[in-house]
Amino acid sequence: MLVIRPITSADFAALKQIAIESGHGFTSLPVHDGRLTQKIKHAEQSFNADVTAPGDQGYLFVLEDTANGEIVGTTGIEAAVGLQTPLYHFQQNTVIHHSAELNVMNQLRTLTLCNDYTGASEICTLFLRESYRRNHAGRFLSKVRFLFMAEHPERFASKVIAEMRGAADKDGQPPFWNWLQKLFLTIDFPKADQLIGVGKKAFIAELMPRHPIYVGLLPDSAQAVIGQVHENTKPALRMLEKEGFTHRGYIDLFDAGPTVEAPLHQIKSVAASRKVPVKVAASAEQAQGEYTLAVANTAIKDFRASFGKGARFDEQSNSLIISPQLAEILQLSDGQMARFINLDQA
């Protein structure tokens, strides 16, 4: 069975391996021992903190296979981005150049450096090992964050964002990056990627263009990928769009991938989740359900969540019937509360 839980210091080696497997462009997990150790420590502090409003907290979860104890994925939430280290984007706009005398009007797209998402919550750091990408595991890894946010809304902002990985060429390089590197940064993409990953973002304010950039002046290859996602990211984007996330013109500085957003309480899985008492069945067969449910306890530092058909909702008693195995994994007993969503209806 697969279970989500908060990360601990004992998970360092597994997290580093995931960082290696995720590759360039996955800036939230750099292959950097100090940064990874810091992220784990920060997550442990965040789960243990007494919080009444979102601040500088980062919640990082790991997906564990209870059959062998292997860590097979991660998923995370930043409570409020940009408070300690600025979060930059390009904002897409349209400017009008009009000449009444010549009867000419041109609508021109521009990109402007901004940090408009300061204070928003961000869902991030989602990675699932390839051998486990089946049977709703990826969907669960994405949606389990919404169960946690629905249960503890005071810890998060009213606006939630997700940065989507941008398009890359056959060599893994973002076409959007080439013109930026040539004109402004003069460092290669892996170096910039590594600097962002370890939190060294001062070079953005120091070297990036301070004035709006006319998109029409960019090479065609760069223009073509603005707002486009990496081929491997398309399923994740479709899933978030079904949740109600929309793209409002903000893109990543380096690969031009879109940042999507949604109001927390309007996210489909947040609104559709139900919080009910549980009843532990005498056997797994008695708890067997028709649908695949994602079920989470209501704890913070002892948060646990899993998914499968070992639970069913009973309308008559307004309770969730769960198998003994699921009850043990989620640390739940009769009468305690759980929150769940139906993954089959997502």
- End-to-end Cα, the chain, rounded Å: 21
Q: Is 211 a catalytic residue?
A: no
Q: Please say if the pLDDT value at position 24 is more than 70.
A: no
pLDDT tens digits for 63-74?
999 999 999 999
Closest by Cα among 59, 297, 62, 292 to 160: 59
The two beta strands, 293-297 and 337-342, are: antiparallel
Cα(26)–Cα(8) distance, integer angstroms: 21
Nearest CA-CA partner of 304 in 94, 128, 151:
151
Does residue 146 have a pLDDT over 90? yes
Q: Which of 33-42, 186-195, 306-315, 337-346 has the lowest mean pLDDT?
A: 186-195
User: Are 127 and 26 spatial neighbours (Cβ–Cβ below 8 Å)?
Assistant: yes
Question: Which amino acid is residue 222, in one-letter code?
Answer: A
Q: Whole-model pTM?
A: 0.91
Q: In the predicted model, what is the mean pLDDT of residues 166-183?
A: 83
In the block, tokens 């309480």 appear at: 265
pLDDT of residue 346: 60
pLDDT in the model for residue 136: 92
Q: Is the pLDDT of residue 261 over 70?
A: yes
Which pLDDT belongs to residue 196? 67
pLDDT of residue 200: 67
24, 89, 230, 247: the catalytic one is: 230
Is pLDDT larger for residue 181 or for residue 252? 252
pLDDT of residue 181: 79
1's tokens = 């069975």
Specify whether the CB–CB gap between 182 and 205 falls below 8 A.
Answer: no
**What mean pLDDT value characterizes the chain?**
91
Q: Is the pLDDT of residue 189 over 80?
A: no
CB-based contact 161:80 (threshold 8 Å)? no
Residues in the chain: 346
- The amino acid occupying position 234 is K
The domains of the chain, with CATH numbers, are 2-89+114-269 (3.40.630.30), 273-345 (2.40.40.20)
H/E stretch holding 137: helix 137-151
The answer to whether the beta carbons of residues 280 and 333 sit under 8 Å apart is yes
Q: Which pLDDT score is estimated for 2?
A: 96
Using CA atoms of 20, 25, 31, 33 in order, give the dihedral in degrees to the nearest 10. Answer: -140
Element (H, E) at 43: helix 33-48
**Rg, the chain, Cα only:** 22
287 Cβ contact list (under 8 Å, min separation 6): 281, 310, 311, 312, 321, 322, 323, 326
**Dihedral angle sign, alpha carbons of residues 279, 282, 283, 285:** negative
Structure token digits, residue 86: 């600025």
Model pLDDT, residue 204 = 73
Confidence of residue 238 (pLDDT cuts 50, 70, 90): very high
